[in-house]
Every structure is written in structure tokens, then in C-alpha cells.
Structure 1
Amino acid sequence: MTEDQNVRISRRTFLGLGIITAASCIIPGAARASVDNLLEPERRLCLLNLHTKEDIDIAYWKNGDYIPDALHQLNYIFRDHYTGLVNQIDTNLFDFLFAIQQEIQSCEPFHLISGYRSKKTNEWLRKKNRNVSRKSFHIYGKAADIRLPDHSLKILRGAAYKLKGGGVGYYPKSNFVHVDVGRVRFWREDV
């Protein structure tokens, strides 16, 4: 191969590189940061379920693959603590939580207040609290109510919102932040 052949690229390759370069310039810094977080060789979550007092510190993704046994253990920690029902949790939620923890650089476990909820539990909670949605993402294993003991709710909310991984609800009176992997939106607790 001559030196000229080493530097030649096709028009298609050149245009593709141009598009990638342009796209990287218009992606917001927060989105780039969240993508960078997800490129880590290992994704790990540390959680304490406040209702069951169970804790877990587990790598759930390694070298490009989710770890099935770790996902089962996380699903169990996220179970409906009222009924004991376990449901599959959306891996995007685990990734969103991981990205939040990386963004904040917290060393403490997330305090999990609510993960999966059965429809029956959700309906019961709706009767007790007007802030509970009829079509809650908790029912589908796509939401978590959390807090971090070493950071304020405002910092937690800000990091989650900055990453734009889904919905972020701020509940200062109830002392938690809701995150879900639905469309990006923000709301605060009705007082």
C-alpha cells in the first residue's frame, strides 16, 4: 500500500465523519456526559430498600452485557413491599440511576422508597394520596422514588433533570425524588 492509499477515504466515509462531528457539537454537555457514563466497563448500583431494610451493592452490567443474575437480584430489591410481588424492572431505569450516581459522584447507596408497585397497591396508595398517578410508571417497573443520604434532594433532582433520562418529580415534603424512564418532564409535589 502506498502512502497515498493510506490517506484516501471515500466520499461516503468523509460525509459520515462530518455528520458525526456535527452531531457531537450539538449534543448538550449533559447528554454527552450521560453517554460517557454509560460507556464505563462496569455499571454498579448500591441500594438500600427502606421498607425491607435489604441492601445490595452489585455490578449489573459488565463489558457490554447485562448480568442476568444481578438483574434478578435488583428486581427483587425493587419488589412491591406491600404484596411481595416481583416484576421485571426496565434496565433503562437501572442505567438512569447509575448515571445519576455518577453525575453526583455519591459514595452512598440510594435509599429506595418505592420501586415496582402492583396495580392493586397503586390503587390503594392513590386513595390515600392524591399525588399517586393512576397510570404510574411504578406499575410497569419503570420508576423509582429515591433519595441519597449524602446529598440534598435539590442536588439529586438537579442531576436527574440535567441528564434528561426521563421524568423527574420533586417531593420535598415527602422527602424523595421520583425518577422514571418515560418521556422527559419535570413536576413537583402538590402541597
Structure 2
Amino acid sequence: MTNSAKTGFTRRGLLGVFAAAAVVAAPTYSNAFGLLRGAGDIRRVRMYSGRTGESMDTIYWIEGKYIKEALKEINHFMRDWRTDETITMDPRTVDIMAASHRLLDVSEPYMLLSGYRSARTNAMLRSKSGGVAKHSLHMVGQASDLRLKSRSVNQMARAAEACASGGVGRYSGSNFVHMDCGPVRHWGG
């Protein structure tokens, strides 16, 4: 108690300040999803595409701000490679990817199997496989299918599920994980 007399602060006063700050910040934190615990103050995404031969390693977010040019690069990289069409990818999907990657503690880049899919590409894939959703979040830039050589499907899926920020699909037979920023749910084995 002698410290409070010298500084003018009391424990009760400090708790009041923290409580007020929490109330003011609540809307921000509620919109931040659970993924921020793994994303960090600098968010980076590293990927390569076996389909196009391209690779990218970019910091797309620094201290609360997305970097527009980096997001444009991500949009291009995650394009529908079959039609060469791009869409604005939902940055929440990229956040989930980055947070999951960070939680996995790997330096290996993701192999991107699928990002954006045009309606035509989605319909073609759906005609060949029962595992492709008719109204896939890939068609609105909210999903990605990813693989890592150094981590199992289950390890990747558990990292994505720890973000509690969207859908996570395990495709063990095809060795990839689906991550999206839609409703929180999981499937596959």
C-alpha cells in the first residue's frame, strides 16, 4: 500500500482502468477471431504452386494494417490457374493460413492446391469428384486447399482448428487441408 501512496495509483483504480479498456476494445477483439493468437504483429504468407511453378513469400500485414500491394500479389497468386481469373481473396482466409503456419512452427512454404475457383472450374471439378461443394467458398475467394511435406494432414488441421475462425476440412486420401473463413466447422478424416 505504500506504493499507491507514492504514485497515486491504487489496485482498485488500476483494475477499473483495465475494465474500461476491455469494454472499449471488446468490439475489436470480438471481430478479430481466435486466429490472432497465432498470427503475430507481422503476418507473412509463404506458398508455392506446383501447377504454375510460381512461389511467393510476402509480408501482407504489419501492426494492424494490411498492405494493399501484398494483398494484390496474393490475389494474383491464388487465382484460378485454369482460367487465369483473379478475385479479391478475403484476407481472413490468408490470416487463418498465416496463423496456422505459425502455429506449426515450420519454415517450409505451403503448397497451394486451390485458392480462387471460377464457377466454371468449380463445376468441372464437381463433375469429377463428390467432394466439391456446389456453392464452394473457393468461388468467392474465402477458401484455400494447402499441403505441407513436413506436416501431416492431422497436424495442419489441428493448427487451423486452433484458430477457431472458419472451416477446416481434412482430405487425408489426397493429402491436403481445406481452410476457409466461413462458419466454424470441421469435416473429413
Partner of 2:37: 36
Unaligned residue ranges in structure 1 (runs of 5+):
24-30
- 1:86-165 matched pairs, under 5 angstroms: 86-165=86-165
Q: Is residue 6 of structure 1 aligned with residue 41 of structure 2?
A: no
Q: Matches of 1:180 and 1:110 in 2, distance apart?
A: 15
Letter in 2 for 1:35: L
Q: 1:4 to 1:152 in 2, by over 3 A?
A: closer
**8 Å CA contact retained: 2:93, 2:180:** yes
Q: 1:172 to 1:15 in 2, by over 3 A?
A: closer
Report the more deviating stretch, 175-184 or 3-12: 3-12
Q: Matches of 2:173 and 2:46 in 1, distance apart?
A: 25
Q: Which has the higher contact order (CA 8 A, sep 6+)?
A: 2
Letter in 2 for 1:138: H
1:121-151 superposed Cα distances (whole Å, 9 cap, x missing partner): 1111111111100110000100000011111
Q: 1:18 to 1:127 in 2, by over 3 A?
A: closer
Q: Matches of 1:119 and 1:55 in 2, distance apart?
A: 25
Q: Matches of 2:90 and 2:187 in 1, distance apart?
A: 22
Unaligned residue ranges in structure 2 (runs of 5+):
27-33
Q: Matches of 1:11 and 1:18 in 2, distance apart?
A: 10
TM-score, normalised on structure 1?
0.83
Question: How many residues are aligned here?
Answer: 178
Partner of 2:187: 187
SS in 2 for 1:9: helix
Q: 1:163 to 1:10 in 2, by over 3 A?
A: closer
% same residue = 35
Q: Matches of 1:185 and 1:86 in 2, distance apart?
A: 26
Deviation at 1:5, TM superposition (A): 4.2
Q: Matches of 1:15 and 1:136 in 2, distance apart?
A: 41
Deviation at 1:159, TM superposition (A): 1.2
TM-score, normalised on structure 2?
0.84
